Structure 1
Amino acid sequence: MDIRQLITMLCVLLLLSGCIPNEYKFENYTDEDTSEAEELLKGDDRIKGVAALFHDDHLLVGIRVKTFSRFNKRKIAAEMEKKLKKEYPDLSVFVSADSKILTETNKLILKNDERGLKKKIHHLITLAEEET
């Protein structure tokens, strides 16, 4: 095996193993305790990434499921939504396994700007509901 083949093989291995690491982001603009949501979402072995945003009377959660669970991602999202609604009955809970919702929720968390957040949350929820 020459050096070019070795380098090519190493590049392919790096690309294949370069999967997105497990990321769990929680942002809270309320006085709710987020530990229940964190425990519930991190404890589910089908989920490998979460972006959760608590704001006013809303809980917006985007989840990324593991590869072999992707065929059941809507079912998983519905289960998590039901469990979170039980834990947080005072909040309007929305959980989605759509990657667009996860990405946009992550952007809202990273901006760390509370202005106009409620409007953006409503916009994301309506977009997600239109797709289904």
Structure 2
Amino acid sequence: MVNIRQLITLLCLLLLLSGCIPNEYKFENHTDEDASKVEELVKGDDRIKGAAALFYEDHLLVGIRVKTFSRFNKRKIAAELEKKLKEEYPDLSVFASADSKILTETNKLILKDDEKGMKKKIHHLISLAEEET
């Protein structure tokens, strides 16, 4: 029979381990641009714990997930990242957002191998994000 101390210890251990979600970064490039600057900027910012970046034709779409204690400044963080990316990629239409919907949809676009209609989906995501603000 399981002792109550063992049960509590096991539950605490499971709770501790469930909070350890690894940082996830995904980058997809369908252009001739160098994606290393995006990786460097995103991974170098200690407020960001996950990101998805998609280069497609003349667009750069970036969705980010900020750390828990940075949640109150997530729009500011996304705006700063977007400004830096526009400086690095002046020829591209750059859009960065800390909205979880943008991150999720960008991940879906990266995982999909279907390039047909991707530009339309990117425009739709950008218009949705700008509509909310």
TM value normalised by structure 1: 0.91
Paired position in structure 1 for 2:87: 86
Aligned pairs for 1:111-122 within 5 A: 111-122=112-123
Offset at residue 53 of structure 1 (A)? 0.3
Among the aligned pairs, what percent are the same residue? 79
Q: Distance in 2 between matches of 1:82 and 1:51?
A: 17
Q: Distance in 2 between matches of 1:73 and 1:90?
A: 26
Offset at residue 8 of structure 1 (A)? 5.2
Q: Distance in 1 between matches of 2:52 and 2:62?
A: 6
Paired position in structure 2 for 1:72: 73
Q: Distance in 2 between matches of 1:8 and 1:96?
A: 40
Offset at residue 115 of structure 1 (A)? 1.1
Paired position in structure 1 for 2:7: 7
Secondary structure of 1:80's aligned partner: helix
Offset at residue 114 of structure 1 (A)? 1.1
Q: 1:8 to 1:43 in 2, by over 3 A?
A: same
Q: Distance in 2 between matches of 1:40 and 1:106?
A: 18
Q: What is the CA RMSD across the aligned residues, in angstroms?
A: 1.5
Q: Distance in 2 between matches of 1:39 and 1:100?
A: 23
Which moves more between the two structures, 12-21 or 80-89? 12-21
Q: How many residues align?
A: 131
Paired position in structure 2 for 1:104: 105
Secondary structure of 1:100's aligned partner: helix
Secondary structure of 2:63's aligned partner: strand
Paired residue type of 2:87: K
TM value normalised by structure 2: 0.91
Q: Distance in 1 between matches of 2:23 and 2:115?
A: 26
* Deviations, residues 11-66 of structure 1 (Å, cap 9, x unaligned): 45424542432011000010100001110110000000000000000000000000
Asked if 1:27 corresponds to 2:61, the answer is no
Secondary structure of 1:70's aligned partner: helix
* Deviations, residues 83-105 of structure 1 (Å, cap 9, x unaligned): 00000000000000000100010
- Structure 2 unpaired stretches of 5+: none
- Structure 1 unpaired stretches of 5+: none
